[in-house]
Amino acid sequence: MAHFLSLVALQMMLTILHLLVSGVLSSATFTIVNKCEYTVWPGILSNAGIAQLSTTGFALQRDESRTVNLPSSWGGRLWGRTHCTQDSSTGKFSCITGDCGSGKVECAGNNAAPPATLAEFTLDGYGGMDFYDVSLVDGYNLPMLVVPQGGTGANCTSTGCVVDLNGSCPSELRVSSAGESVACKSACMAFGQAQYCCSGAYGSPDTCKPSSYAQLFKKACPRAYSYAYDDKSSTFTCAGAADYLITFCPSPRASQKSSEGGNPASSSSPNSPTMDSSMVYEGAWATNRASSPFTFKDGFGSLLTIAGTVGVAIAIWPARRLV
């Protein structure tokens, strides 16, 4: 009997070791930190076919943090909701930016209503790699920084949009509440035209080029996705196990606005928009350098492409609304 029990225990141990090696029991974590001067309500959406996490939405007060455990091979997106309230008579919860339409703090499988700054992930994806980006393709509502903790590779580094673009958002893209600019739409959302949405005759990398609005976003936030085919400079990868630190309003805080800008629609020149926050941006990367074990690149032309083709990169990511 003792011999039988020993065999059972050995088999159980071997099974657990197999599961750990295969990644079934292993998981990554998101540590989400709010450094904004206001409350942020993170929302999380798992990709189709992937089970929702134990939490899909919660509140973070200023300087609060929360760690979320992820299953292996997880994919989805994360964003911050702002200016949220709960109706005292109906109990319905809603947000002015990033609302997921569930009527509750938990998003429960609902996506973010644009405009919203999005962090997108495919963990343990193609070739066992993690793929991630911070996207302004759905517009912008607050600064966000993603820092991998662990993982390897020349392209395993921090990304995000760390400046406040709301104060310098062109008037035709601006979302306001009580006289305050609270978000910045994508050009596709604002105008619905094919050249901004990369649709119809503009639905390929050859025909869809970054608009002056996309270039405005890119100048302010060089590492963030600015339009549909912005893969080479805006998609990042990590090999091996990595956790991710996600910070809303990293230093400098959102109260430090980028330069007041011009109006892209008023000029046909792609250089006419002025939302030049490069000094603030570089200062923020320098501030966060100490928290990341990875090298920060000075330029973005040498960043690795995903599997060598735009097509593979597009296949990896969820469908996007386009700038």
pLDDT in tens, 270-303: 333 333 333 333 433 333 333 333 222 322 222 3
Domain for residue 9, yes or no? no
CATH number at residue 101: 2.60.110.10
Q: Range of 72's domain?
A: 29-316
Pair 186, 139: CB distance under 8 Å = yes
Is residue 24 situated within a structural domain?
no
3-state secondary structure of 315: helix
Band the pLDDT of 233: cuts 50, 70, 90. confident
Which residues lie closer than 8 Å to 268 by C-beta, 6 or more apart? none
Which residues have CB under 8 Å from 232's CB, separation 6+?
300, 303, 305
Q: What is the pLDDT of residues 113-124, one digit of tens each?
A: 999 999 999 999
**Could you tell me which residue, 232 or 189, shows the higher pLDDT?**
189
Window from 10-19, 177-186, 232-241, 274-283 with minimum mean pLDDT? 274-283
Element (H, E) at 159: strand 159-161
Mean pLDDT, residues 225-243 taken together: 92
Tokens coding 87: 């109706």
In a domain, 134, yes or no: yes
Query: Does residue 304 have a pLDDT over 50?
Result: no
- If one compares 13 and 316, the residue with the highest pLDDT of the two is 13
Instruction: Examine residue 281 and state whether it is found in any structural domain, yes or no.
Output: yes
Residue 270 identity (one-letter amino acid): P
Least confident segment among 95-109, 149-163, 279-293 = 279-293
pLDDT in the model for residue 302: 28
Global pTM reads 0.74
Read off the DSSP letter of residue 185.
-
Could you tell me the two tokens for 33?
Answer: 């930190």
Within a domain: residue 164? yes
Strand 236-248 versus strand 27-34 pairing type? parallel
The tens digit of pLDDT for each residue in 305-322 reads 333 333 333 333 443 444
- The Cα 198–Cα 209 span in angstroms is 8
Number of folded domains in the chain?
1
Three-state secondary structure call for residue 265? helix
Is 6 among the domain residues?
no
pLDDT at position 212: 95
Examine residue 280 and state whether it is found in any structural domain, yes or no: yes
Confirm whether 11 is domain-assigned. Answer: no
